[in-house]
A and B are shown apart, each in its own frame.
Chain A
Amino acid sequence: MKLTFRGVRGSIPAPGPKTVRYGGNTTCIEIRTDDNDLIILDAGTGIFPLAHTLFPELPITAHVFITHTHWDHIQGLPFFIPLFIPGNTVHLYGARDPVYDRDLQEIMAQQWQHTYYPVRDAELKAHLHYHTLREGETIPVGENTTVTNIFMNHPVLNFGYRIECNGKSIFFTGDHEHLLNIFQPDELGYEGFQLAMDEKSRRIIDFIKGVDILIADTSYTEDEYPERIGWGHGTYDKNVALAREAGAKQLYFTHHEPTRSDDDLDTLLEELKGRYPAEEGMPICHLAREGELIEL
């Protein structure tokens, strides 16, 4: 399996001289299976540069798995050029909206609405198929690859995806904040919440168990986090803990804060390596970098 980061920024694109090394596009990850099937995790603005690399292999079939439909994870979709070219097939997967009771197609229909975009999805030349996923549903891609999901913790339903291909595995959290008890220890309801929460955390860890690569939303430092509780994003230290508990071999921090410069990111990684020296059970930590290709 091969993986290429096409967008590593969180929340909003961050172009400019201070982000040239790690990149300014929002979330998009390209995965190639051993059979060269194309899986794309999220359709942030990074899907636009990805689209340009696909021309030599048209027509294509792309399996696009959306973790959740916040802007930074879908904003590039209307600019995914293969959608406008006959002969291509795009499968789009994602969760339901339980608040307004809409399936994926109904959710995405807003994006193709004429006040936001000049083209309706009915006008697209490629075959576009919507698949509303349930938790735990396993989608086969080609002969040897599967994509399974689990609900994570974010202000909107968010799937973490696990991709398995010939014994190698990748897990991407999408946007995820570790769970937190909303009650104080002396309040009624604290214990019940804690137990439900522990059960959920355990399920997430079991789901990630033993992955070769864990890609995790790492928006904040521990110092920044107290001001951002409940915003739905992870921290460096919490993700190291998650990776250790799950026994992940490599950990890629992504969803970099848009205000974070390349130098800031390098400093944060250096400090982290100081806090967590290499030892048994400690994953190898990296900063996700736009354009970086990783072979498993």
Chain B
Amino acid sequence: MGDTLKQVILEAETLPPFTSSARKITALASNIDCAPADIVRVIETDPTMTVALIRLLNSDYFSMETPCYTVSEAVVTLGITTVKNIALKTGERRTLPTFTDADPGALGLHMHCAGTGMIARHLARFLALPPRVQDQALSAGLMHDLGKIALLNAMPAQYSSAVQKAKEQGVSLDVSERTHLDCDHSQVGQMLSEAWNLPEIFTITMGDHYESTLSISDERTFALFDCVTAANTIIQRKGFGTSGDPEPPKLTESAKTRFGISSSEALEKKLPPTLVEELNQLQEMLHHA
């Protein structure tokens, strides 16, 4: 492992959440009567808070009969108060710095992550995957760029500059990352998922969200993977948030086959008409924390 990669993984032990979710959770938690669902809805927009819970429940101490994939599952095991306090504790760390010059406070990256999660869940619903798997799609979509968050956390200035250079030079973000940082966010994501003993779906979606080069063990995981890659394409084509990539990724062949469409426009038409409204609400929520 390169030194950079080692450092990034090490620093990810205290990964901070996005500014707006940290503020929002603090505000909610200062009211003793706040609704548990509101707490969960905030956590479900933040990759750091969500992964803190999923990682904990897949750790040695908990060693559940079935792996934990979602915030809801964490609430069922730990109770809402413990979940709330774990989320609050991630926010006691500093929050994430600016992603690119055009994205102060990384709000754009936050929108990208949360929006991908939202659309991935809708796509899983479209595929009529079971309800708990639909919730897994939300977690997987939300966390797919955890590698970016870890890079931004460990080396804010260099990472921000690699993102900037991708744009200036018209190369894809991972090419720019590898050129300027000696590693890319997919590598980081995969290593984090493995180091934290996350279920396979997260290793795959955090490790390779363009075209799967990893072997995928079962059909359901493959379906989830397709939901996440397609959501990642759609959210960027909609111009919602900032992924750091100059161009939205193309829809993968396996996603085209799975959803029975030939273009991402066609796939967008399969999403519920309420999506635009939901994305507006999400944007509103993240902005007004």
Asked if A134 and B61 sit within 8 Å, CB to CB, the answer is: yes
Mark each residue of chain B from 68 to 85: 1 if its CB lies under 8 Å from any CB of chain A, else 0. Answer: 001011011111111001
Is A265 interfacial (CB 8 A cutoff)?
Answer: no
CB contacts (< 8 Å) of B73 on chain A: these are 196
- Size category, B interface: 20 to 34
B9 to chain A, nearest CB (A): 19
Given A98-B86, A155-B81, A182 and B36 contact (CB-CB distance below 8 Å)? yes
Determine the distance from Cα of A155 to Cα of B78 in the docked complex, in whole angstroms.
8
Question: Which B residue's beta carbon lies closest to that of A151?
Answer: B77
Is B128 interfacial (CB 8 A cutoff)?
Answer: no
B79 to chain A, nearest CB (A): 6
B66 to chain A, nearest CB (A): 8
Is A183 interfacial (CB 8 A cutoff)?
Answer: yes
CB contacts (< 8 Å) of B50 on chain A: these are none
CB contacts (< 8 Å) of B279 on chain A: these are none
Asked if B86 and A182 sit within 8 Å, CB to CB, the answer is: no
Question: Which B residue's beta carbon lies closest to that of A200?
Answer: B76
CB contacts (< 8 Å) of B86 on chain A: these are 98-99
Is A122 interfacial (CB 8 A cutoff)?
Answer: no
Given A96-B61, A135-B62, A182-B37, A193 and B82 contact (CB-CB distance below 8 Å)? no
Determine the distance from Cα of A87 to Cα of B40 in the docked complex, in whole angstroms.
50
CB contacts (< 8 Å) of B89 on chain A: these are 99-100
Is A232 interfacial (CB 8 A cutoff)?
Answer: yes
Is A49 interfacial (CB 8 A cutoff)?
Answer: no
Contact of A196 among B36, B76, B121, B134 (CB under 8 A): B76
Mark each residue of chain A from 178 to 201: 1 if its CB lies under 8 Å from any CB of chain B, else 0. Answer: 010011100111011101110110
CB contacts (< 8 Å) of B258 on chain A: these are none
Is B135 interfacial (CB 8 A cutoff)?
Answer: yes
Is B131 interfacial (CB 8 A cutoff)?
Answer: yes
Given A179-B76, A189-B72, A99 and B82 contact (CB-CB distance below 8 Å)? yes
A111 to chain B, nearest CB (A): 20
Mark each residue of chain A from 149 to 191: 1 if its CB lies under 8 Å from any CB of chain B, else 0. Answer: 0010111110000000000000000000001001110011101
Determine the distance from Cα of A142 to Cα of B56 in the docked complex, in whole angstroms.
34
Determine the distance from Cα of A13 to Cα of B51 in the docked complex, in whole angstroms.
40
A220 to chain B, nearest CB (A): 17
Given A182-B40, A182-B80, A195-B132, A98 and B72 contact (CB-CB distance below 8 Å)? no
B68 to chain A, nearest CB (A): 9
Determine the distance from Cα of A153 to Cα of B78 in the docked complex, in whole angstroms.
7
CB contacts (< 8 Å) of B72 on chain A: these are 182, 189, 192-193, 196
Contact of B81 among A96, A151, A156, A192 (CB under 8 A): A156
CB contacts (< 8 Å) of B36 on chain A: these are 182, 230
CB contacts (< 8 Å) of A179 on chain B: these are 76
Is B179 interfacial (CB 8 A cutoff)?
Answer: no
Determine the distance from Cα of A39 to Cα of B13 in the docked complex, in whole angstroms.
39
Asked if A188 and B37 sit within 8 Å, CB to CB, the answer is: no
Within 8 A of A (CB), among B69-108: 70, 72-73, 75-82, 85-86, 89
Is B63 interfacial (CB 8 A cutoff)?
Answer: yes
B109 to chain A, nearest CB (A): 23
CB contacts (< 8 Å) of A182 on chain B: these are 35-37, 40, 72, 75, 80
Question: Which A residue's beta carbon lies closest to that of B134?
Answer: A192
Determine the distance from Cα of A62 to Cα of B8 in the docked complex, in whole angstroms.
47
Question: Which A residue's beta carbon lies closest to that of B60?
Answer: A134
Asked if A192 and B132 sit within 8 Å, CB to CB, the answer is: yes
Contact of B79 among A96, A153, A193 (CB under 8 A): A153
Asked if A200 and B40 sit within 8 Å, CB to CB, the answer is: no
Determine the distance from Cα of A227 to Cα of B219 in the docked complex, in whole angstroms.
46
Q: List 26 A-B contacts (CB under 8 A).
A: A96-B61, A98-B61, A98-B78, A98-B82, A153-B79, A156-B79, A182-B36, A182-B80, A183-B37, A189-B72, A191-B131, A192-B131, A192-B134, A192-B135, A193-B76, A195-B131, A195-B132, A196-B70, A196-B72, A197-B76, A199-B76, A200-B76, A200-B77, A230-B36, A230-B80, A232-B79
Could you tell me which B residues sit within 8 Å of A by CB distance? 35-37, 40, 44, 56, 61-63, 70, 72-73, 75-82, 85-86, 89, 121, 131-132, 134-135
Could you tell me which A residues sit within 8 Å of B by CB distance? 96, 98-100, 134-135, 151, 153-157, 179, 182-184, 187-189, 191-193, 195-197, 199-200, 230, 232
The 4 tightest CB contacts between A and B, nearest first, are A155-B81, A191-B131, A192-B135, A182-B36
A98-B82, A182-B35 given; 15 more Cβ-contact pairs under 8 Å:
A99-B82, A134-B61, A134-B63, A135-B63, A154-B79, A157-B82, A189-B72, A195-B131, A196-B70, A196-B72, A196-B132, A199-B76, A230-B36, A232-B79, A232-B81
